[in-house]
Structure 1
Amino acid sequence: MTDASCSVSWMEWFKTLAPLGSWGLVVLGWMIVRGDNNRRERRKELRVIVDSVIEHLDALEQKTHDYFTSEPSTATDRVAQEIKSLLKVIACDLSSLKTEEPLLDCNLQIIRLRRRITSGEFDSASRVARTSNDPFFAEVAGDVIATQDHLKTKFLQVKR
């Protein structure tokens, strides 16, 4: 083989493989765009759950106020069940968030909130109605706000 024949075969080889290179770039571009779209969709799904938890926390705060400012009755027993149900829904949503994105762990905040609401005279026969300006409600509101703030802050740290 001469040098001329080697260079010709090299050129032929390059001409044969050149279209594969452009297809390779197309596939690589598709993979990058697909990854970006998947990440964006995942963030949207997480945001829906975060927004749901925030709404449930607001409802929980309102139900807690309604429950503790009313005298014990069958109506307040129903509100107590709604509070328990909301706590379970929030815990399930936070668990699924933590499973999907470990950064969104709010276990300590929700435990503190649950203890604040359910300890003491919650669901007790000795419970008496509190006034609306009782410091207990400010503490509950503070825990709700702290939980919401923690969740929002951690969500902002999720990779975009």
Structure 2
Amino acid sequence: MSKNDSQKTTDQTNSKDQVFLGGSCDPTTWRQDIAMPMFDNAGVAYYNPQVADWHSGLMALEAAAKEESNILLFVIDGQTRAIASILESVEYTMAGRKVVLVINQVPDGTVIAGQVVTGRELKDLNRAREYLGELADRHDNVTVYEDVASAVQAILDDRQKLAA
């Protein structure tokens, strides 16, 4: 994915009627494999922050996209530590933004960035995910799903209800 692919979706819309595709990145492919095709098929605008060559200069662009998006989808998967994504999810939850979460536990023995995750680290990563889920349960602006397809479908269903 190139930087231009990421910007293209933002340039297509000048309203807040878009979904920010936040959460776990490399090595995940949930955006390209599931979310983007579903949103494309439904004609829903989104901003994809995952690029091949991410650099700190993209932070301002991502921040603007988050502000311009009316729904923030954060996928906290079991293939990455996702610490920054968890913190972002908490930030936007507490700000009262519409947040849709997918939270998956990290399986014992998962290899993340070349390191096997077990023991105390595994316990801490999964505890952070549990706390995020508990926080979400206490806030009406957040919904939690077990998988990306269910979360995206719920977003599409909600949009359809609002349009009716």
Structure with greater contact order relative to length (CA < 8 Å, sep ≥ 6): 1
TM-score relative to the length of structure 2: 0.30
TM-score relative to the length of structure 1: 0.30
Instruction: Please identify the structure whose Cα radius of gyration is greater.
Output: 1
